[in-house]
Structure 1
Amino acid sequence: MRIMRGRFAPSPTGDIHLGNIWTALLAWLQVRSAGGVMVLRMEDLDPGRSRPLYADRLMADMKWLGLDWDEGPDVGGPYAPYSQHERRDLYQAALEQLAADGIVYPCYCTRAELAASAPHSGDTERIYSGTCRRREVAEACKGARQPSLRLVVPPGITSFTDLQAGDVSQDISQEVGDFVVRRSDGVHAYQLAVVVDDAAMEITHVLRGYDLLSSTPRQLLLYRLLGQPAPVFTHVPLLIAPDGHRLSKRQQDLSIACLRAQGVKAEAIIGYLAYKANLIDARQPVKAAELIASFDVSKLQSDPVIVDSHDL
């Protein structure tokens, strides 16, 4: 049996907050309870938003909370480098493989054009109508603007079983359409980069937030097209504020840096999250390592989890 290899892959675009640590803790516990290898990877592909300072602070906060890793930007490992901005050649090679198979094409649609022509898919994402798949349209726009690159999505249902969400099925061609694999500014898209990285690093299990569940079929399609095995997925419920909004890096009172500055102890944060995850029966300070032996992902609820900075 292959040893479990899991990862936490944050974007260093701000101070890490309670919602990030919720996912990090659960991913860490999944790996540690199985005696596996924990990987830390920085998803700093977007040069306009990512900052090395945030990456350093993120790693410091995780270590303070008792969440360690076996491979990562600071310690290296057999699949280095562990920062996406250093792995662009791998994404480009994968893109060229898809292009050689004739399933990538340039798209010249602007955001305004997409908003005007494409229906919603049920969330904030819009279904791409395939305008630029018609060659004459793309040729007419050539030279007018820099194109993005889209993947030709075949018809059919993509299905998988999530360890938390259960059976999931999606007809990508009808619910998403041809999706972007490289942006018009030349930055490779998240969907492509995360698949290339997880395949190259031999990640066997991915635990992440429920907000990414709908993008998983696209990633499974890319795994298949690139001839790579897909990991086992677990999408956990999100932490939300009392007003029902998802936690974000704009909520500074729930950043780990802010909580530390207010004197909140690491064990108090871990214990609070463990209680919210139904991993312990009563709210109490606890170290992350003390949760390993009893971790069970089936204990998690399926609904979003309400948290309040005043609780801490």
Structure 2
Amino acid sequence: MNYCGRFAPSPSGPLHFGSLIAAMGSYLDAKKNHGNWLIRIEDIDPPREVAGAADKIIDTLDRFGFEWDEPVLYQSTRYTAYQDALHELQKEKLLYQCICSRSDIQAHGLQGVEGAKYPGTCRKRGFDNSTYAPQRSALRIVTGDQPISFVDGLRGTICQNIAQDIGDFILKRADGLFAYQLAVVIDDAYQGITDVVRGADLLTSTPRQIYLQRMLGLPTPHYTHLPLATDKKGRKLSKRLGSDPLNTDNPITALMAALEFLGQPLPPEYPASTREFWIWAIEHWSKDIICRQ
């Protein structure tokens, strides 16, 4: 199968330097391997979205010289596919309704790799169409008590026992919105994604995604998790923290900084255009020299 990568931002604000690192890493790896590179807008969480952000993101990527190989995919057009996947899991008796609040979960005092771990309180409820109320209960997937392993392109073998480290996780929220973990798995398969290059903040999500892929009979891409850019307090740059948006008036300066952050060689002379920058960056791209954080 030919290489196919993607960049999948959420429209919760403008792109910042951390976004550029993830976009650049995925783009360079795809182009170095003579593959396709796609953009997906992950707009499945309306309460967190900022009006106009999706268009601004696409415009910024264009101004920075990124070239994508297919029309942009919007997850908000994919709800039927997500619901179909839930039906498949339901038929396998892998879903159950959960009415636990966040405070209910925290009260159990079980700690996982991402905070309070779900203790399985509602697992015996199962799923009953006659009683399922989307506005009152979430849908969780039953997780098996066995390790999920994968080989990360930078970090080597990663292993996680989801049941012990995370607990049964949500696929559809109590407010009726589909969860990221489900949507990303369905859309990676739909778009034929073979290689996922993204930030290390999603490293602990990968075993859950692989588990879902296995339960749904979907292919598993190769994963590479890039080091994260942080602010002066050591916090990951994010839209939520109000990280400075990229300056589209002078893209080459930011492109050079991102390339240097990824440990790649810089052009001997300042590029005259974004096209000149990308020609150099693609030719000299090597995952092997990215620093591991």
1:277 equivalent to 2:262? Answer: yes
Q: Secondary structure at the match of 1:40?
A: strand
Q: Which residue pairs with 1:78 in the alignment?
A: none
Matches within 5 A, 1:70-219: 70-73=69-72, 82-123=73-114, 125-135=115-125, 146-219=136-209
CA contact (8 A) 2:134 2:176 kept: no
How far 1:129 moved relative to its partner? Answer: 0.4
Distance 1:198 1:144, change over 3 A: closer
Cα root mean square deviation, aligned: 2.1
Residues in 1 aligned to 2:134 and 2:284: alpha-carbon distance in whole angstroms:
59
Aligned equivalents of 2:243, 2:47: Cα separation in 1: 25
Return closer, same or farther for 1:281/1:39 CA change in 2, 3 Å cut-off.
Answer: closer
Tell me, yes or no, if structure 1 residue 56 matches structure 2 residue 55.
yes
Structure 2 gaps of 5+ residues are 272-276
CA deviations 1:161-187 (Å, max 9, x no partner) are 000111001111111111101100111
CA contact (8 A) 2:256 2:266 kept: no
Contact kept, 8 Å, 1:272 with 1:283, in 2: the verdict is no
- Contact 1:6 / 1:206 at 8 angstroms: preserved in 2? yes
Q: Tell me the alpha carbon deviations over residues 43-67 of structure 1, each in whole angstroms, 9 at most, x when there is no partner.
A: 0001212245111111111111111
Contact 1:158 1:169 in 2 (8 A): yes
Cα offset for 1:209?
Answer: 0.5
Q: Secondary structure at the match of 2:258?
A: helix
Alignment-derived partner of residue 26 in structure 2 = 27
Counterpart of 2:274? none
Cα distance in structure 2, aligned partners of 1:20 and 1:43: 14
The 2-side partners of 1:143 and 1:69 are apart by: 40
Give 1:6 deviation, angstroms. Answer: 0.3
- Percentage of matched positions with identical amino acids: 34
Name the structure, 1 or 2, with higher relative contact order (CA <8 Å, separation 6+): 2
Length-normalised TM-score, structure 2: 0.92
